[in-house]
Every structure is written in C-alpha cells, then in structure tokens.
Chain A
Amino acid sequence: MAEPQERGLIAGMRPWDEMIDARGGVRPGRERLVAALDDLGPEGLRARARLRDAHLSAQGITFTLSGRERPLPMDLVPRIVDAAEWQVIEAGVAQRIRALEMFLDDVYGAGEILRDHVIPRRLVTSSAHFHREAHGVRPANGVRIHVAGVDLVRDDEGTFRVLEDNLRCPSGVSYVLENRRTLSHVVPELFTGYRLRGVEEYPARLLGALLAAAPAGVAEPTVVVLTPGVHNSAHFEHAFLARRMGVELVEGRDLFCRDGVVRMRTTRGSEPVHVIYRRIDDDYLDPVHFRPDSVLGVPGILNAARAGAVTIANGVGNGVADDKAVYPYVPTIVRYYLGEEPVLPNVQTYDLRDPDVRAHVLPRLDGMVVKPVDGSGGYGIVVGSRASDEELAAAATAIEADPRQWIAQPIVALSTSPTLVDGGELAPRHLDLRPFAVNDGQRVWVLPGGLTRVALVEGSLVVNSSQGGGSKDTWVLDTGDDEPLPPLEPELVIDDPGPTFSAAQLRAAGEGRARVDQPLVHTERMRQQEEQQQQSGLGDAPC
C-alpha cells in the first residue's frame, strides 16, 4: 500500500519520540521497560496481545461505534511520563481549570471580562454552547467544572501543549483505570523495577467532588450518574463510574421533577436526587429549555438546578469555555483572572473571522489542521498534510462561508512512542494525552497520568477512538519522595479470646493460623482400606 504523501510543513519535521532520543538511544528511565520488551520478543508480544484481546472482550471493556460494541484497543507498551514532566502538566492543567472556572462564573454572571474588552463579546454570545438559560444559575460550591479532560500534545521539541479543553462530558477515564489493571494482568513483567503513581483513587475523588457540590443543607446527598442509555458510545464508562462510586446509574426516564425537586423512581416510591453527574449533552438535558424532542432528558431539571434543589455536574453551558474559537484566548484568560503566566502553552491558532488572518492561512492549508469549533470525536477535522487538493479546496470554501465555525492550527508533529503493530514488531505511532482533573471546590486534583491515545494507523495524527485510535497505559513515575512505608510488624494474636470455649479448644485455636483439615487418621485408615480393597478385589478381574 502506498504511503500517504506528506506535504507542506510537516515533511521536514522530526517528531519527538517518548522512548528513543534523536541519536537512537533509550531515554533515561525507559531502559528497564525496553529490556523487558526485548525479553518478551515478537513471539511473546504476539501471544500476550492475544491474551489481552481475550481479556478485554471477556471483561466487556468496550466502546460503541456505529452501534457496535468493540474493545478499545490497548497497546501493550505503556507510555512513561517522568515525575518532573508530570509536575508541569499537573500544575498547568490545574491552573487552566481554575482560570476557566472563573471565566464561566464571569460570563454567566457579571461579564467583567467582556466589559473590559479582553474577550470580544460577540465571540462568547455567538458560541453554540453559550446558554442564556444558564445565566444566574449559582452552583452550590461555586464549581461548574467538576471534571475536565485537557488534551495535550507534545511538539517536536518535547514541549507539552494544550490542544483543547473538554469541560462538558470528557470521557475516557474508565479506560485509564482498566488499562492499568489489564496491563498488570497480561504483562506483569513490564512493571518490574518501576514505581508508579496509582490511578485507583479516581472514583473516590470524583464522588468526593460531587458530594461537595451538593445543595447546601442536605445531610446525606444522593448522587446519580445520568446516562443517555446503553446505546451511547461511552455507556461502558457511565456504568463503570456508577459502579465504582457505588451510586445509581440512571436514565432520563428514571428521573422526574416535582415541586422543583428532582426525584428518581424506585421500588419503594420516589426518592430525591441531589447531585446529577450527567453524561448527556446540554442539548438533550431538559426538553423544557433545550431540544423539545429530547427523550433522554428530564423536563424541569434546569429549573430545579436554578432553584438550588439539585446540582448538575458538569455545569450547563460549560461549552462556551471549551469552544475552539475561545481556545486561543485561554492564555489571556489565565493572565486576566489569575495574574499568572500559563504553565502550559497553547498550540498556535488562527482566528479565521479576521480577513487578514484568512488571507494568510488559506494559501497555506496544506500545513494546517482545520477543525470545526464545536466538533468532537475527530469528526470534520482536515489534516492539511494528508488531504487531497479537492479536500483542501472544500475546506477553504467552508471557511469562507462561515469563518466563525472553523479554526486553523499549524500542524504539530505529535510525539511518538513505540507501539505494538501487527506481527509483534514495535513501530513509532503518534500520541496525545488527556489528563483528567477533578475540582471539589477546594482544589483541582489531577489524576496521575490520564488517557494516552495513540493513532494506530502509521503516520496518522488523528488519535480519536472513533477514527481508529487506541490507548496506552500511562505511567507517571513516582519519585519516592514520600516516606517509605514501615516494614511489616508481626501481628499480635489477641490473648483474651473470652470464656465461651474450653481451655483445650482455645489452645487449639489460639495459634490462629492453624488450619482445620480432614483428620489424617482418617485418610490413613482410608489408605489401609484402599490397600485392602485392592487386595480383596484381585480375583475380581475386569472382563
């Protein structure tokens, strides 16, 4: 098969490889991993890949694409993030979320940033996700972004840059947890000698943030996860999160509003619901305010939220802050609200509403990525270096027709990492990283690692699972700065077992760990019987 020809800017660019440096040496901290992969060899890796596939299918760790359930391909080679690199990412993601929280609070409130002309008012009001309905909704603990997924890419110099913010229903965190378990299950050898930051605490952190967001005055808030239903592509994740938080997974039809309170139907009558972690888009959430034809939502839920009877997480109208046309302004937003320089830089982005910018960009589309501002899942993206002339011309026409709907970015040569390809060989494939942040109103906590998505198609820069992307377990190395745990103390057996049993019985049990087994005398006798049965049966020859 002929290679798609690279053209434009990317042709001369050499992507950053996360494991191998420019001179072909193994980067520090990756040596043991490379050695462990070598030991397995192509044959071993192929065998483990089969085990992995069987495991993923059996566990039902899937996403649904075009109505078909399929396992999210998980690469056997983990991606390693050094502790120092992680500190930057963690700080940068948390900073961004803090600033975007303030931005949302502002645009759905006083609107100071607009009055100060830092962000053009038209840009905000023209966003498809700016919902006037959300104006004046005051979240209980001030949080609108309970969960965020911030997509990062690594450029050819190894710098992590933010590609986009996902502040509505970022998905993929279930695969982070499942990938770790699957990898340690299928290739435990790789973990030898590595000390990793754990990922298991995510559900507890999320539940903590949701409980913290409950309406004031509720002693024991009821939290639910609201899913569009089993046909949604992320249904596995919705069920996973509900399970791991120990809360109900509900569909819209399980809920109803009465007297401004959201309630769920149960076998014991209806029960009030206080926090809804919804994985339904704004458009479908409430037919009273949004799409009147929505059968997934709950009529009246937004009014209940406005009245402060229920918390909707993430907040309604968050999409205005992750609109791709607002994205170029995020560094400005960070400086405006926090008075800090952004820790993580953006990718350069052209605002195509400006005719001069269009004049600069349109002739150079072959070196650009063109994205619709409100798209997700990789749909509608045109990667200039891999597009045909006709596709580029179509993109140019679409931009001229409605420039607000598009942004253009110079192509970033996404970093690569060795990835298992057919035949058991390892080959470089492009990746991104989606760290997940949880905001409980006190602090923004970032799950160590996040979802690494990998473009399994050679040379492809599109990592979305809907476009043939896979994932990798993401290891954040633990520096071990925290105190090492004390060694195991021998456990004390309690001396006073109480008066219920006789002294002899207590002595027998007091050892504690003595096993109760079938008496040996008995088996000894059986052995005798066995012998005798054999002897006595000698004359009883099989015929």
Chain B
Amino acid sequence: MLSRIAEAMFWIGRYVERAEATTRLLVEHHQLLVEDTRLDPTVGAEAMLGPLGLMPGGPGQPGHPEAEAPEEPVTPAALVRLVVGDTADPSTILGSVGAARENARTIREALPGDMFERMNATHLRLQAGISTVIPGIPLRGLLDELAVVTGIIEWQMPRDEGLVFVRLGSALERLDMTCRLLDIDHDGLWPQAGAATTLRAAGGLNPFLRTQRGLSGDQVEGFLVLDPTFPRSMLQCATRAERAVRQMATYVSPQRTSTLLRTVGILRAELEFASVDATPADLALLRERTREAAFVASDAVAAAFFRQAGTIVWSH
C-alpha cells in the first residue's frame, strides 16, 4: 500500500475517533453545567477547555503567549462555540471532522462505498452551525453519523493494511482522549454528579455499574485506565494498538518498527500487569505513561511508514 494512503488511513482513524470522543464529552459536560449550577459555570466550562487544549489564550490558541486572561468569561454557550470550533483547528469537533474528511478526499478511491460522501455530508451539516443554546440534540445526531462512518470502516473495509492503519490511529487517539477526559476531573469539581459524567462521556456508565460497587472518582479512573473489557479503557486501547503494530511489523524489516513495537508493547504490559490495588498516585503515573507512549507511538509510526528515509524534500 502507498505510504500516502496508509498515512491518510491512520489520520482518518485518529480524527474520527477524536470527533466522536470530543462530541460525547461536550454533550455530557454541557448537560452537567446546565443541571448542576453549584459550581460557577465559567469555572465549569473552562475545566473542559484546558484539557482539550482549547482555552482562549492557552497554548496553541489565539492570544498565546501573552498568557492574558480571556477577555470574557466562558459561558456554557461559549463553551459549545469553542469546542465545536472551526475547520482550521483540528482540536475542535468541526476541525477533526474536517481533517478526517480532507484525508478521505485525498484517498477517496481507496475507500469503501460512500464513506467519503458520508463524511462530506457530515462536515457540511456541521459547518452550517450548531445551536449553542440546545446543542444536545444536534450533537447526538452527529454521534449517530460518526457511528455510521465507523460502521462502514468496520464492515466494508477490506481486511488489509489500510484497516490496520485506521485501527492504530483510532486506538492511539482513544488513549489520548481518555487521558484528556480524566484530566477534566469532573469528580473533583462536581462531587455529586461528576464521576457519572466522566463515565457517560466515555459511554461507560452502565458497564461500570455492572462491574463495580459504588461510584467514586478514584474507581472511575481505575476503570478507565485498567478495565480489561471496557473498549475505551487504556488497557483495551493499548491491547488493540499492540495488535495493529504487530501486524504492521510483518510488512517491513524489524529495525523499522522496533521503537513503535517497544513503545506500545511496554505500555500494554504496564497496564495489563498493573497492581490490582493501584493507588490513585499509581494511576496518575500510568496515565502520564500512557499519554507519553501514545505521543511517541504516533511519531514512531510516521517514522516507520510515512516519512521514509530517502524522501527528498525540496526547500526554497
């Protein structure tokens, strides 16, 4: 498979996953802001923007590096506007949908059925705008549409190299998004409903309740990091990433994938063999390891497969 196509596949996996996770998070976080007003809504809204890297004036955002305070307090409506965002910023929902669509456009012929058309239509609908007053309904609609895209990937893509790259992208992005979700610390900010919101944002409230007694922030973190069966837990994502990487390793010489394989394999092992009575400090450390490993692995996959030695880049 052409490196260019593999790379687009990888990024489709990442951006579709990012759009989905961010959307789900926004729906639940916004609903919590509306329902539980014990916390200053500005503090509540900003709590989500920071971990998503969308804080006005924050790193990578307009206003940086002056690091001045945002001029206006972030209202729940402003939160929706900032997180839905625009096509230029791939950290936002619109940006990640747009980036997925852009990648799909470049490899349209290599994609199954009407996958590009689906993404294109979704992107267009999203560009037309989302109500910042009642965002829940259109955002849930968006989740449905993204589920269709995921369904096409899972059911129609040939079981070949392309799918392996999509899956790796999706697994790495999911690791990253689960880190960010836990960074928001809903439980610390909303002691009553926060922990449940974290789980809902991961689609995990019911799976959690079926396996655990009680509902505390520490338990939720343990679940999202270490649960062996929940599809968004870091352990599950690392396991899937490792499976994809082992598959990829058969395409090229062993040296090319050694960093990638080692990074992902060590992460999976650290998560799989973590102590059953991991303390909150242990979990925090595992989260940091996960964040770094996802970061390094993303770079390693590019080095191994996308940026190949001998590529001549002209500079003017």
Contacts and interface: CB of A to CB of B under 8 A. Distances in A.
A501 B35 contact: no
A283 B103 CA distance: 64
B37 A194 contact: yes
A291 to B, nearest CB: 33
A511 B59 contact: yes
A198 B209 CA distance: 19
Interface stretch (B117-125, B158-166, B292-300): B292-300
A516 B295 contact: yes
A410 B90 CA distance: 67
A245 B53 contact: no
Given A185-B137, A191-B35, A488-B47, A513 B211 contact: no
Given A246-B209, A497-B288, A513-B53, A181 B37 contact: no
A34 interface: no
Nearest to A513: B53
A509 B291 contact: yes
Interface of B is mostly: helix
Interface in B212-244: 212-215
A521 B302 CA distance: 13
B110 interface: no
B116 interface: no
A200 interface: yes
Contact of B35 (A184, A193, A244, A245): A184
Interface in B296-315: 296, 298-299, 302, 313
B145 interface: no
A297 B230 CA distance: 34
Interface residues of B, number: 67
Contacts of A134: none
A498 B292 CA distance: 10
B282 to A, nearest CB: 12
B37 A191 contact: yes
Contacts of B193: 198, 200
B136 A488 contact: no
Interface string A471-492: 0000000101000110110010
B250 interface: no
Nearest to A482: B38
A326 interface: no
Contact of A204 (B58, B176, B214, B263): B214
B57 interface: no
B68 to A, nearest CB: 16
B206 interface: yes
A438 to B, nearest CB: 16
Contacts of B296: 501, 505, 509
Given A188-B34, A244-B209, A509-B291, 6 more contacts: A184-B34, A485-B39, A487-B43, A501-B292, A509-B292, A519-B302
29 contacts: A186-B137, A188-B34, A188-B76, A188-B134, A191-B34, A195-B37, A196-B37, A198-B36, A247-B210, A485-B38, A488-B46, A494-B285, A498-B285, A498-B288, A500-B266, A500-B292, A501-B292, A505-B295, A505-B299, A506-B292, A508-B295, A509-B291, A509-B295, A511-B59, A512-B291, A515-B60, A516-B176, A516-B299, A519-B302
